[in-house]
Amino acid sequence: MRNAMQRYCYPYFALLILLLVSTHLIAQDNSKGAIKGKVTDDKGNPVPGATVLLKKQQDSTLYKSYISDGEGIFLFESAIPNQYLVEVRMIGYETLIKNDITVTGNTTVDVKEVSLRPSSQTLGPVTVKGQPPFIDRQIDKVVVNLESSNLAQGNSAMELLPKLPGIQVTPDDKLKLNGRPNVTIYIDGKPTYLSGDALAAQLKGMNAANIQKIELIAQPGAKYDAAGSGGIINIVRKKNRGEGINGTITGGVGMGNYGKYNGGIGLNYRNKKVNIVFNNDYIYNKFFNDSRVISEFGTADNKLLKIFNSDNHTLSTNKTNTPSLGVDFYLSQRTTLSVSGVAATRNFHRDGNSFTTESDNTNNIASLRNFDINYSQKYNNYSTNMHLIHQFDSTGKELVVDLDYFNYGSTFNQFYADTILSKTQAYLGSGRTWLDQDRNLKIYSGKADYSHVFRNKLNMDLGWKSSYIVSDNHDMVKDDTIAAPMNNHFRYTENINAGYVNLNKKFDQLTLQMGLRLEQTYAKGEQLLSGASVTRNYTNLFPSLFADYAISKDHSLNLQLNRKIDRPPYLNMNPLSFRINPTTNFKGNPDLLPVLSYNAELSYSYKNEFSTAFRYSRNTHDFMTQASPDSSQEVSTIITINNDYTEYFNLSFSYSKEWTSWWRMNSSLEFYKQSFKGLVNGLSVDVDGIYAYNFYIFNSFRITPRLSAECMYFYNHRNQENIRITEPKHALSFAVKQQLFASRGSLTLNVQDPFFFYRERYTENSILVKQRFDTKFESRVVKLNFMYRFGHSKMKKANVGNSAAEEQKRSRPVN
**Would you say 215 and 236 are in contact if contact means Cβ atoms under 8 Å apart?**
yes
324-330: average pLDDT: 92
Best CA proximity match to 439, nearest among 496, 351, 377, 385:
377
Where along the chain do its domains lie?
Answer: 31-130, 136-791
- Check pLDDT > 50 for residue 111: yes
Q: β-strands 636-642, 584-587: how paired?
A: parallel
pLDDT over 60 (residue 463): yes
Q: What is 31-130's CATH topology?
A: Immunoglobulin-like (2.60.40)
List, as one string, the DSSP characters of 716-766. E--EEETTEEEPPEEEEEEEEEEEETTTTEEEEEEEE-TT----EEEEEE-
Residues 6+ apart with CB under 8 A from 451: 396, 397, 398, 399, 400, 459, 460, 461, 805
* CA angle, 567 then 572 then 575, to 5°: 130
In this model, does residue 547 exceed pLDDT 90?
yes
pLDDT at 32 over 70: no
Mean confidence (pLDDT) of the chain: 84
Question: Would the CA dihedral through 678, 679, 684, 687 be positive or negative?
Answer: negative
Predicted pLDDT of residue 358 = 94
Task: Write the pLDDT tens digit of every residue in 279-322.
Answer: 999 999 999 999 999 999 999 998 999 999 999 999 999 999 99
3-state helix, strand, coil in the chain (%, to 5): 5, 65, 30
Same CATH topology for 31-130 and 136-791: the answer is: no
Residue 756 has pLDDT above 50, yes or no: yes
Over pLDDT 90: what percentage of the chain? 49
CA distance 759 to 775: 6
Distance CA 732, CA 734 (A): 7
| Residue 158 to residue 283: CA distance in whole angstroms | 12
Q: Residues 164, 155: contact at Cβ < 8 Å?
A: no
* CATH fold label, 136-791: Maltoporin; Chain A (2.40.170)
Predicted confidence (pLDDT) at residue 130 exceeds the cutoff of 90: no
Please list, in sequence order, all residues whose beta carbon lies within 8 angstroms of the beta carbon of residue 498, skipping any fewer than 6 positions away: 225, 226, 464, 465, 466, 517, 518, 519, 520
Q: Which residues contact 631 (CB under 8 A, 6 or more apart)?
A: none
Mention every residue, 6+ apart, whose C-beta is less than 8 A from residue 17: none
Query: How high is the pLDDT of residue 154?
Result: 63
